[in-house]
Amino acid sequence: MQIILGNEDQEFVLRIRRAHLFEERKREMVNAWALGIYTCPYANVSHKTVQELLDYLEREFPLERMLFPRPKLRLW
Q: What is the pLDDT of residues 4-54, one digit of tens each?
A: 999 889 999 999 999 999 999 999 999 999 999 998 988 999 889 999 999
Q: How confident is the model at residue 63 (pLDDT cuts 50, 70, 90)?
A: confident
Q: What is the value of pTM for the model shown?
A: 0.84
Q: Which amino acid is at 71?
A: P
As a whole number of angstroms, the distance between CA 42 and CA 18 comes to 29
DSSP code at position 14: E
Identify the helix (H) or strand (E) that includes residue 13. Answer: strand 11-15
